[in-house]
């Protein structure tokens, strides 16, 4: 890491691999020796055509995604999909089941309720410190929606829920952080700005036969089938976003792929959770079986301790540790690109503050 770069614990947009950023720097003035920068290339030209093809192909290879699934790029964040999913798949007389694990699934539920009938099949509220163990499905859900990782509360499904209908997953904060389980999934959507790239673009991985069941009574850009039929090129896509995602996924591949990322991320998280379990001053929020390996949320024994820690962290170049405004406390977001060294430095500082030596 360059000496001047901070340790960035931001929950998203978040730290990206420095190699990716350096490649992007070069591509801004000249993409692959074309004499034109990545922001300036026509999306219909052969150069961007190659970028799009490479990014999709790397995603398929690294994610082990077969031809029964489409890989789509949507110019929008995950919040857009909160509405787009029910618009596409929740018809009159149908019910969609939702798993409520916190603020993000709450927003998805709210949007779905504008469109049709929603059944909350399980909840971990009001504490939201775990993923639900018991689910009560409706008679014949159209789909089952869950949020694989809860960025704000710091919980994560160890495995997808077993559901009686196609799963729809908001994977914004843990996509490609561990091997991808497509089993049972109709559609996975993810805002790119945590593990994949910049904000303003989302990745969708969806079964082609599930996409085909969607409503046709929507503007083309609101139908997933348009992206599948026109290879995400119905209109000008976020070309820079597609490029950066390709670079990030190439970096993941070079690291050894998703199995290696999963092991690394689990090991990084364990460093911090082990410390929290030992500490008398700091306490993790999530229950052990539901702990997120991406966002680790914790509280200090006192509000004062938290503020002391946050101020010291900023001084020492550890940035973005304040918890989400809705829940308070501290949060360490340690996505793929966040280095293990940074977690060690965080633990050292937490320990110093606890011992009153900082």
Cβ atoms of residues 42 and 48 within 8 Å: yes
Residue number, 69 or 338, with CB nearest to a second copy: 338
Instruction: Give the pair of three-digit tokens for residue 275.
Output: 């410390």
Q: How far is the CB of 88 from a second copy (least distance, A)?
A: 13
Length of the chain: 358
Residue number, 21 or 120, with CB nearest to a second copy: 21
Q: How far is the CB of 103 from a second copy (least distance, A)?
A: 12
194, 251, 268, 282: the catalytic one is 194
Residue number, 76 or 182, with CB nearest to a second copy: 76
- Given the rule CB under 8 A, which residues bind a second copy? 2, 4-6, 8, 10-16, 18, 21-22, 24-25, 28-30, 34-37, 39-45, 75-80, 82-83, 111, 114, 191, 193, 197-201, 219, 221-222, 234-241, 244, 317, 319-320, 325
Q: How far is the CB of 108 from a second copy (least distance, A)?
A: 12
97, 129, 170, 174: the catalytic one is 170
Tell the residue number behind the tokens 């910049």, with chain if given: 198
Neighbours of 182 (CB within 10 A): 19
Strands (E), 171-267: 185-191, 202-207
Q: How far is the CB of 204 from a second copy (least distance, A)?
A: 15
Residue number, 290 or 292, with CB nearest to a second copy: 292
Spell out the residues 6+ positions from residue 351 whose beta carbon is closer than 8 angstroms to its own.
Answer: 275, 279
Residue number, 161 or 197, with CB nearest to a second copy: 197
- 314: burial class by Cβ within 10 Å (0-12, 13-18, 19+)? middle
Give the Cα separation of 318 and 51 in Å (integer). 34
Name the packing angle between helices 303-315 and 340-354 (round to 10°): 130
Q: How far is the CB of 221 from a second copy (least distance, A)?
A: 6
Catalytic residue at 194? Answer: yes
- For residue 330, the surrounding DSSP H or E stretch is strand 330-333
Strands (E), 140-231: 144-147, 149-150, 155-156, 167-170, 185-191, 202-207
100, 104, 251, 282: the catalytic one is 104
Give 99's strand partners. Answer: 122
Give the Cα separation of 69 and 321 in Å (integer). 37
Residue number, 199 or 279, with CB nearest to a second copy: 199
Q: What angle do CA 255, 257, 262 make, to 5 degrees?
A: 95
Q: How far is the CB of 26 from a second copy (least distance, A)?
A: 8
Active site residues: 104, 170, 194
């Amino acid at each position: 890491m360059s000496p001047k770069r901070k340790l960035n614990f931001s929950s998203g947009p978040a730290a990206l691999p420095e190699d990716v950023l350096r490649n992007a720097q070069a591509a801004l003035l000249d993409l692959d020796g074309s004499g034109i920068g990545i922001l300036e290339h026509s999306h219909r030209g052969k150069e961007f055509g190659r970028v799009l093809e490479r990014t999709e192909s790397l995603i398929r290879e690294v994610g082990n995604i077969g031809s029964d699934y489409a890989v789509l790029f949507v110019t929008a964040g995950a919040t857009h999909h909160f509405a787009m999913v029910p618009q596409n798949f929740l018809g009159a007389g149908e019910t969609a089941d939702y798993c409520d694990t916190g603020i993000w699934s709450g927003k998805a539920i709210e949007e779905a309720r504008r469109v049709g009938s929603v059944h909350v099949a399980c909840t971990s509220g009001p504490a939201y410190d775990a993923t639900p163990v018991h689910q009560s499905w409706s008679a014949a859900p159209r789909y089952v929606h869950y949020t694989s990782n809860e960025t704000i509360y710091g919980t994560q499904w160890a495995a997808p829920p077993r559901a009686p209908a196609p799963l729809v997953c908001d994977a914004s904060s843990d996509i490609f952080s561990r091997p991808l389980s497509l089993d049972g999934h109709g559609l996975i959507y993810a805002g790119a700005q945590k593990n994949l790239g910049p904000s303003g673009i989302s990745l969708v991985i969806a079964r082609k036969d599930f996409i085909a069941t969607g409503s046709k009574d929507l503007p083309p850009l609101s139908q997933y089938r348009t992206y599948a039929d026109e290879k995400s090129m119905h209109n000008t896509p976020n070309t820079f976003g597609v490029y950066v995602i390709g670079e990030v996924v190439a970096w993941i591949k070079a690291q050894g792929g998703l199995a290696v990322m999963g092991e690394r991320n689990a090991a990084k998280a364990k460093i911090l959770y082990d410390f929290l379990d030992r500490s008398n001053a700091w306490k993790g929020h999530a229950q052990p079986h539901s702990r997120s390996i991406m966002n680790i949320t914790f509280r200090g024994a006192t509000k004062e301790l938290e503020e002391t820690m946050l101020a010291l962290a900023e001084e020492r170049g550890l940035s973005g540790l304040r918890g989400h405004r809705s829940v308070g406390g501290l949060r360490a977001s340690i996505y793929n690109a966040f280095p293990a060294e940074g977690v060690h430095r965080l633990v050292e500082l937490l320990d110093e503050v606890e011992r009153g030596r900082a």
